[in-house]
């Protein structure tokens, strides 16, 4: 008897079939299917192709008056017709990715409690201590391979949103499916609600989370420890992605779990991977070498330090000593330049503290260091001022300017500013998308340093190889893969990343490279397939309607 994708029940019939998002095809059910499956009279008489449905969805999306309305419409589609949602997303990824994820997902998270319609994923609180594994067993799909978890403390550049941050794991997993073909029933979003430091949410009667102070210290660690053990035992071969944890916990938890579980932190390692890929591509445009670069980072949190660590690894691999490589990475945090004379530095920052005069602000630090690249991961809108951009263009023929903060409102500068104040010479990338810019008659298409270029492919490679760990080396090789996929035409337009329309091709290339690395490093007990790319490709989910097997049986 045919089984439901969850593997737990027989396929539904009639109205139950139309209410099942994994199986519903709406008006695309054929006449034979309608007759065999008890659907006659439950649908309009028109029979549509899936492609006609995709066009109908896009027409509706484009009629919506705001990006939030578009987001809600698409999430509604995901809730009622999963295959059509992913088919539409894949075919229109460049247009819809900013709606499903950054920057619109930030606004969606801010409004999450108010627009909450249907629960997605698992919500875990301190009240579940001692039986988290039984909570996870409530999830209907038993073959979970990718799990994205957050505690909602640092959502994009928006801060502590508590349970409203569930929009992030949901959005990330949609991109795993669209960009790397991870089957939806292999994905699980998790919110660990430990309270919120955002006291404005406590008095909001519509807030869906715990209206109380955040859990901290030993109680917090015990809850996370139990969750990690329970998730790994409940879902063997699962890869766990940490997302938007606060700075005080992110590095600590990564160090705590990375050698015990198959896990990574996307804000640290994924962001580092895509930024390194951008630097590789930028150097194809500037003609420089990685070992000759001098980088100033605005921000010294998860993203910036993660990028710095991966850049150091790249420079070491290209011949520098560790001290020489660290000496080429400079950080400016909220207190000023990170130097040895400061006494307020935590361990992760102190590794990049140099014997150099202290400078309180970014402009004076940049003038003193004269970098080849400035990289913003601070959430400080407009921090890359015209004066800083002009100075970068004075010292460098092609200054590298990465304004990586999300959402768009928090970007360190706009694409227009970067190109205008460098007379079109900047090599620019941003975290959120910006429209094309025309300077002196030349058209520039800004690159978007979107983690979606990295994490889906890495996840697919880990899944396909059954790797027991996710390593920094995997993100290094993923960065090189992405840079190689940026064409000459891309670079001529100023776009240092390949078009998102090619993201499945990019993800397959990354996955193959990551899987080969897992086999080479003996991170898996699995035997390497003779045709690894073909094997991985065969595992990729494709949201194309198939004839219901019960109709074939009747025929």
Q: How do residues 205-220 score in pLDDT, each as one tens digit?
A: 999 999 999 999 999 9
What are the Cα distances from residue 100, in Å, to 45, 107, 161?
Answer: 32, 11, 18
Q: Are residues 183 and 298 in the same domain?
A: no
> Is the domain of 231 the same as that of 323?
no
Question: CA-CA distance, 149 to 268, in Å (whole number)?
Answer: 14
CATH number of the domain at 442, please. 3.40.50.720
Which residue shows structure tokens 């309180």?
360
Mean pLDDT of the chain: 95
Write out pLDDT tens, residues 263-320: 999 999 999 999 999 999 999 999 999 999 999 999 999 999 999 999 999 999 999 9
Q: Specify which residues 339 forms β-bridges with.
A: 354
Catalytic residue (choose from 25, 87, 172, 349): 172
- The domain spanning residue 200 has which CATH number? 3.40.50.10380
pLDDT at 71 over 90: yes
Using pLDDT thresholds of 50, 70 and 90, give the confidence band for residue 548. Answer: confident
Please report whether residue 536 resides in a domain: no
Pair 140, 224 in one domain: yes
Q: Report d(CA 17, CA 45) in Å as an integer.
A: 17
CA 467 to CA 281: how far, in whole Å?
Answer: 29
Q: Are residues 253 and 324 in the same domain?
A: no
- Regarding whether 284 and 421 lie in a shared domain, the answer is yes
Selecting among 101, 112, 257, 419, the annotated active-site residue is 101
**pTM of this structure:** 0.94
Give yes or no: residues 217 and 355 share one domain.
Answer: no
pLDDT of 7 strictly over 70: no
DSSP label of 259: T
Domain count along the chain: 2
Confidence band of 156 (pLDDT split at 50, 70, 90): confident
Residues 144 and 226 in one domain: yes
Q: Is residue 280 part of a domain?
A: yes
Residue 172 annotated to the active site: yes
Residue 422 maps to a domain: yes
Considering the domain architecture, whether residues 346 and 397 belong to the same structural domain is answered as yes
Q: Any catalytic annotation for residue 220?
A: no
Give the model's pLDDT for residue 555: 45
pLDDT tens readout for residues 345-367: 988 899 999 999 999 999 999 99
Q: Is 113 helix (H, G, I), strand (E, B) or coil?
A: helix
220 and 326 belong to one structural domain: no
């Amino acid at each position: 008897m045919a089984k439901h994708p969850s593997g737990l029940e027989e396929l539904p019939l009639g109205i139950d079939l139309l209410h099942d998002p994994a199986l519903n095809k709406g008006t695309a059910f054929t006449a034979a299917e309608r007759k065999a499956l008890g659907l006659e009279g439950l649908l309009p008489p028109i029979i549509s192709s899936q492609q006609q449905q995709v066009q109908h969805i896009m027409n509706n999306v484009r009629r919506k008056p705001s990006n939030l309305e578009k987001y809600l419409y698409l999430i509604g589609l995901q809730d009622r017709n999963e295959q059509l949602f992913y088919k539409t997303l894949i075919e229109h990824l460049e247009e819809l990715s900013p709606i499903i994820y950054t920057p619109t997902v930030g606004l969606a998270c801010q409004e999450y409690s108010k627009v909450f319609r249907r629960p997605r994923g698992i919500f875990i609180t301190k009240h579940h201590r001692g039986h988290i594994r039984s909570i996870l067993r409530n999830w209907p799909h038993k073959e979970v391979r990718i799990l994205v978890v957050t505690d909602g403390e640092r959502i994009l550049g928006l801060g502590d949103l508590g349970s409203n941050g569930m929009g992030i794991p949901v959005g990330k997993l949609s991109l795993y499916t669209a960009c790397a073909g991870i089957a939806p029933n292999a994905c699980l979003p998790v919110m660990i609600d430990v309270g919120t430091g955002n006291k404005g949410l406590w008095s909001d009667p519509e807030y869906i989370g715990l209206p109380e102070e955040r859990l901290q210290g030993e109680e917090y660690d015990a809850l996370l420890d139990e969750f990690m053990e329970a998730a790994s035992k409940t879902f063997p071969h699962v890869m766990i992605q940490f997302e938007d944890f606060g700075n005080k916990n992110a590095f600590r938890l990564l160090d705590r779990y990375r050698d015990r579980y198959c896990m990574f932190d996307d804000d640290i390692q994924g962001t580092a991977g895509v930024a390194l890929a951008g630097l590789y591509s930028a150097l194809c445009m500037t003609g420089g070498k990685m070992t000759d670069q001098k980088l100033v980072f605005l921000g010294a949190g998860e993203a910036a330090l993660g990028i710095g660590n991966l850049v150091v690894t790249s420079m070491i691999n290209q011949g520098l000593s560790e001290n020489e490589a660290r000496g080429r990475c400079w950080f400016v945090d909220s207190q000023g330049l990170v130097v040895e004379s400061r006494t307020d530095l935590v361990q992760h920052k102190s590794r990049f503290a140099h014997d150099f005069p202290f400078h309180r602000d970014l402009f004076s630090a940049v003038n003193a260091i004269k970098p080849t690249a400035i990289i913003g991961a601070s959430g400080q809108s407009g921090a890359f001022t015209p004066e800083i951009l002009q100075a970068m263009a004075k010292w460098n023929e092609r200054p590298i300017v990465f304004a990586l903060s999300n959402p768009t409102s928090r970007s360190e500068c706009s694409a227009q500013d970067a190109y205008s104040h460098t007379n079109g010479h900047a090599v620019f990338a941003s975290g959120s998308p910006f429209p094309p810019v025309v300077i002196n008659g030349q058209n520039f298409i800004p690159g978007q340093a979107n983690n979606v270029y990295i994490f889906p492919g890495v996840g697919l490679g880990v899944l396909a190889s059954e790797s027991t760990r996710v390593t920094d080396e995997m993100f290094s090789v993923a960065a090189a893969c992405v840079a190689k996929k940026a064409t000459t035409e891309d670079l001529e337009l100023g776009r240092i990343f390949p078009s998102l329309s090619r993201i499945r091709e990019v993800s397959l290339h990354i996955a193959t490279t990551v899987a080969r690395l897992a086999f080479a490093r003996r991170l898996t007990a699995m035997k390497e397939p003779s045709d690894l790319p073909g094997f991985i490709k065969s595992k990729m989910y494709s949201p194309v309607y198939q004839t219901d097997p019960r109709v074939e049986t009747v025929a």
